Amino acid sequence: MQPIRKTWSTTISLSTQIKQDDQTEAFDFKELGTLTLTPNAVYLRYTEHQYEVATPVTFKISQIDDILLHRHNDFTDVQLHFSPDQEFQSHYITSQGNIPITVRTNQLTNEITNDHPYGKLAVAYTLLNNHEPIGNYQLTLTIPQ
């Protein structure tokens, strides 16, 4: 018997704040996406449009405190793993080369689960390279009911 999957379209809102050195940037996106429920995870897929570049994005919400974010386009590819008070090794792949990074989740609040596939996901995290901070990030994803 095949696992039950349920998929539907939704509109998402995503706000991101990036602080690097003394500079802060903020981005807001409202995109049409696809939400898929599986027995073990919620998948949200959409395409971000910024500076005339389309970037496919996937959030995998395995548990209330275990989130994967994958962003890739023709220029970059990165997968970030968020879990409270943990660090995960990853790579930021660019056209100039492969940059090893560490993802440190500073705070994570999530309302999105298989039983409740809408609401808000908020993550505050730090990216590091060779134990040195690259920047501090905050993302807030909202899926309307």
- The CATH code that applies to domain 6-19+28-143 is 2.40.128.20
Q: What is the mean pLDDT of residues 8-28?
A: 95
The pLDDT confidence band at residue 48, using thresholds 50, 70 and 90, is very high
User: What is the rounded CA–CA span in Å between residue 139 and residue 145?
Assistant: 19
The 3-class SS string of 48-113 reads EEECCEEEEEEEEEEECCEEEEEEECCCEEEEEEECCCCEEEEEEEECCEEEEEEEEEEEEEECCC
User: What are the distances in angstroms from CA 110 to CA 82, 83, 96, 133?
Assistant: 11, 11, 34, 25
- For the chain, the straight-line distance linking the first and the last C-alpha, in angstroms and rounded, comes to 30
Per-residue pLDDT tens over the stretch 56-110: 999 999 877 899 999 999 889 999 999 998 999 999 998 889 999 999 999 999 9
Q: Output DSSP code: residue 130.
A: T
Per-domain boundaries in the chain? 6-19+28-143
Length of the chain: 145
> Encoding tokens for residue 128?
């590091």
Give the model confidence (pLDDT) of 98-143 as tens digits: 999 999 999 999 999 888 889 999 999 999 999 999 999 999 999 9
Q: How confident is the model at residue 1 (pLDDT cuts 50, 70, 90)?
A: low
For the segment 35-40, the average pLDDT, to the nearest whole number, is 91
pLDDT for 85 = 86
Residue scoring higher pLDDT (81 or 1): 81
pLDDT digits (tens, 9 = 90+) for 24-33: 999 999 999 9
